[in-house]
Structure 1
Amino acid sequence: MNVSLIVTLVGEDRPGLVNTLAECAAANGANWLDSSMAHLAGKFAGIVRLDTAEANADRLEAALRGLSSAGLSLSIERGTPTAGAVGGERIHMELLAHDRPGIVRDISSVLAQHGASIDRMDSACESASFSGEAMFRAELDVCVPGSVSPAQLQAALESLANELMVDLKLEAKG
């Protein structure tokens, strides 16, 4: 049986950080499955899911913790086997708004009130092409439970979007 280790890392951004992690994983028999990494505020931050045989998990975890000597701050959690998606519909959301504190809180609050779960979220703050104003952009993949109509969720999000002056696009994800 295999074990998944979820590794979050933060370190001073420099060439070779991903390679350091990849070399450690490979040397300890791990398979690199999923990851998301970015340069954020002068730091390099990432999350990665490594898969390894149960017999190698403790050794891999110890080796990963040893990367702190390379200037990485790490957190390691063992994943649980997934039972598969529980009914419902998957929706892809895109939003664009003038940046201000609270946008993610407001959107995630509506999703939580409807029992929707965020499977993935990517966001960035960028300058508007003509005005140069700070704009917040996000893409989310959301699982809506079978007990909630996607139209119901869409109406609640669109109501919020109008209130926040947010451009929102929702589409069913195949």
Structure 2
Amino acid sequence: MQNLMVITALGADRPGIVHELASAITETGSNIEDSRMIVLGGEFAILLMVSGRWNELAKLESSLPNCTKRLGLEVHIKRTEPGAKKEQLLPYTVEVVALDHPGIVAELANFFASREINIRELNTSSYAAAHTGTPMFSVHLAIDVPAGIHIATLREEFMGFCDQLNLDSMMEPAK
């Protein structure tokens, strides 16, 4: 059985954080399986899933606090297991662009949650529209649609939902 650990960390952004953290993980014999890292404001946010033998992860758990303290990171470590295989799921990608206003993410999340559709990944960004400078908001979602849901009906409901909220959107099978 594969041993897994999720690590989240947050601290002031500066060059070298990724190198030092990745080196500390590698030195224990552990391996980064999946990761997300991003600068948010002046902070650097890190989300990692690390694998290794139980003793390698134990070594990482004991050495990581000193490393992250030196890097000025707040860290949270949690052991986990591989995700359970659920019913047949169809991976879809959803893209939404709109004038920026509060509540877009909450409305989208409610639409999918009310249909028992899991959001596997969600990324957002705000930006100024070219030429006009109008505040815009972009959302990218990776969702898992249960195989029993009629896709044409879902797509029609989603497009109607987006039209009501004045959101430009696209839903298509993940590639």
Q: Provide TM-score, normalisation by structure 1.
A: 0.93
User: How many residue pairs are counted as aligned between the two chains?
Assistant: 174
What is the RMSD of the two structures over their aligned residues, measured on CA atoms? 1.5
**Unpaired runs of 5+ in structure 1?**
none
Match of 1:151 in 2: 152
Q: CA deviation at 1:160?
A: 2.0
The separation in 1 between residues aligned to 2:131 and 2:81, in whole angstroms, is: 46
Residue identity (%): 28
Match of 1:16 in 2: 16
The separation in 2 between residues aligned to 1:46 and 1:170, in whole angstroms, is: 28
Q: Provide the secondary structure at the position in 2 that maps to 1:130.
A: coil
Q: Provide the secondary structure at the position in 2 that maps to 1:48.
A: strand
Query: Is 1:28 aligned with 2:31?
Result: no
Match of 2:111 in 1: 110
**Unpaired runs of 5+ in structure 2?**
none
Q: CA deviation at 1:58?
A: 1.8
Write the deviation string for residues 81-129 of structure 1: whole angstroms up to 9, x where unpaired: 2233531311111110111111000001010011111112221111111
The amino acid that maps onto 2:122 is: M
The amino acid that maps onto 1:128 is: A
Q: Provide the secondary structure at the position in 1 that maps to 2:82.
A: coil
Match of 1:65 in 2: 65
The separation in 2 between residues aligned to 1:35 and 1:80, in whole angstroms, is: 16
Write the deviation string for residues 107-166 of structure 1: whole angstroms up to 9, x where unpaired: 010100111111122211111112111111111111011232222322232122112111
Match of 1:46 in 2: 46
The amino acid that maps onto 1:164 is: L
